[in-house]
Amino acid sequence: MATETATIRAACVQMRSGLDRGRNLDDALGLIGEAARDGADFIATPEMTNAVDRKAKRLLADLPPEEGLEEVAAFAEAARAHRVWLLIGSVAAAAAPDRTGRPRAANRSLLFSPQGAIVARYDKLHMFDVDLPGGESWKESSVYAPGDTAALVETPLAKFGLTICYDVRFPTLYRRLAQAGAQVFCVPAAFTRQTGEAHWKTLLTARAIENGAFVIAPAQGGRHEDGRETYGHSMIIGPWGEVLAEAPGDEPGVIAADIDLKAADTARVRIPNLGLERSYEISISKQ
């Protein structure tokens, strides 16, 4: 691997993806270009960049596998044209049916090099199966096939740990990525407004502080065509918990910050918890 640069300029693309994959692609390419013109070395888009649709039948009706997605080729060309590392936070792509033959999709991050090559893939590990106050209910496992492998990517810029949205509620994943060397966590998301208002910033800050890592979290924001409402507030957070950049609301746009990777090393020296974790058993007493 090439020597990591000391400082990189990272950008988050905030979107409001809808049902039309072609329109979503155009929106994403426009914002990626804006971030590149601002000098970004690393650009990340949100979860479900290519399609946000809570109706499984409609989403899956004309959805090809990754190799058939026209947007993948377009994103490869964008990375090559702008000479940037480009993380498409995730795309929906047709996956193998489940054991009953029911069609499913992958929720997949794709990392492109400045040469336009896909250098890493990550399928979301944790499915958002929840019942929230007010009757809001989600069951991602009925539509998406969960991944089974975490992803750490060593690049000339930094060592990136790839995660997606609901993964942020599973701190062991981030601890293992950090112990494997990750300096930067990517958390592309489509957080619901209800959970975003309550927990988005707190969860992202906790993952940064407890692991001495940067967090890059591009988000979907606003009311989408399928009726859902997402929180927005894309964020870039430093390893000491400092907010380096934050979108002011849920409108589409770009935020960026300069990341000094030495700050992660400094934070881990100050609080050396990654190397001090001990194995233990739990003693349960019934009174």
Q: For residue 41, give the CATH number of its domain.
A: 3.60.110.10
Name beta bridge partners: 220. 15
Number of domains in the chain: 1
Query: Nearest 5°: phi and psi at 173?
Result: -60, -45
Other Cβ atoms less than 10 A from the Cβ of 278: the count is 4
Catalytic residue among 12, 71, 140, 165: 165
The domain in which residue 243 lies consists of 7-275
Catalytic-residue membership of 47:
yes
What is the widest separation between alpha-carbon atoms in the chain?
Answer: 66
Q: Residue 41 falls within a domain, yes or no?
A: yes
Dihedral of alpha carbons 151, 235, 72, 3, sign: negative
Q: Residue 82 falls within a domain, yes or no?
A: yes
Q: Residue 286 falls within a domain, yes or no?
A: no
Q: Residue 77 falls within a domain, yes or no?
A: yes
Q: Residue 282 falls within a domain, yes or no?
A: no
Amino acid code (one letter) for 123 = D
Per-residue HEC secondary structure of 217-270 comes to ECEEEEECCCCCEEECCCEEECCCCCEEEECCCCCCEEEEEEEECHHHHHHHHH
Give me the tens of pLDDT residue by residue for the chain, a chain 287 residues long.
Answer: 444 568 999 999 999 999 999 999 999 999 999 999 999 999 999 999 999 998 989 999 989 999 999 999 999 999 999 999 999 999 999 998 888 888 999 999 999 999 999 999 999 999 987 788 887 777 898 899 999 999 999 999 999 999 999 999 999 999 999 999 999 999 999 999 999 999 999 999 999 999 999 999 999 999 999 999 999 999 999 999 999 999 999 999 999 999 999 999 999 999 999 999 899 999 999 99
What is the per-residue burial (b if ≥16 Cβ within 10 Å, else e) of 5-25?
Answer: eeebbbbbbbbbbeeebeebb
Entry pTM: 0.95
Q: Residue 37 falls within a domain, yes or no?
A: yes
Catalytic residue among 12, 47, 140, 186: 47
CA distance 103 to 50: 19
Q: Residue 281 falls within a domain, yes or no?
A: no
DSSP assignment letter at 165: G
Catalytic residue among 124, 140, 159, 186: 124
